[in-house]
Structure 1
Amino acid sequence: MPASALVHTVLHKDAYPAATRAADWRLHAACAGLPDETVFAHRPKPALPALRACAICPVRRRCLETVAPAESWFDGVSGGRLWRNGKEVRIPTDLTPEPDLAVDYPDHP
């Protein structure tokens, strides 16, 4: 599945009926609405906005459990870590993300 289709399926709020939206953890993800190239980045620098979002995300653990990067050979950001082919990518210390609290993220429950 192309990344854009996955993002639409995972993050597009209008794709689900109201009853489903209330219970769907993906709609509460801090990365909802970030561009594909950020969420599915292969390198640390382009992934920084998604990693910053993870730092304040209320569904971080659920994301990591559901995506299961090591088992799915995932490429991108999940659970506050960057993955390439299911292996965690080391983030250089000069790029270590800190949460950008000035960014206006969607409301979380």
Structure 2
Amino acid sequence: MIERMRPYAPTGIIFLLILYFGVQALTGERGLLSHGERAEMLERRQVELAQLEDRRQDLELRVRYLRTDNLSRDLLEERARVVLGFAAPGEYLIPVERRAVTAS
């Protein structure tokens, strides 16, 4: 029986490969049926990019005010207090733990 099926083996293998790649073309990660999922991911990434760009602009502004030619005394004092943990007399400090920002 195996001898009778031997000539059909290459055809069967090719058929299985075509079937596999056809299923992947439809349902795979970049398949035709996963367009909605990709659009959702694109929206999430665009929101994340906008948040990161805003944060970068804020950090660039702070760095600009900490340079020697453009030194802001208020910002320098704020950073020194945060780094050193000092407070002026009459000020109240409320310690807050920072949570790490995770990307989803």
TM over 0.5: no
Higher relative contact order, chain-length normalized (CA < 8 Å, sep 6+): 1
Higher strand share: 1
TM-score, length-scaled by structure 1: 0.22
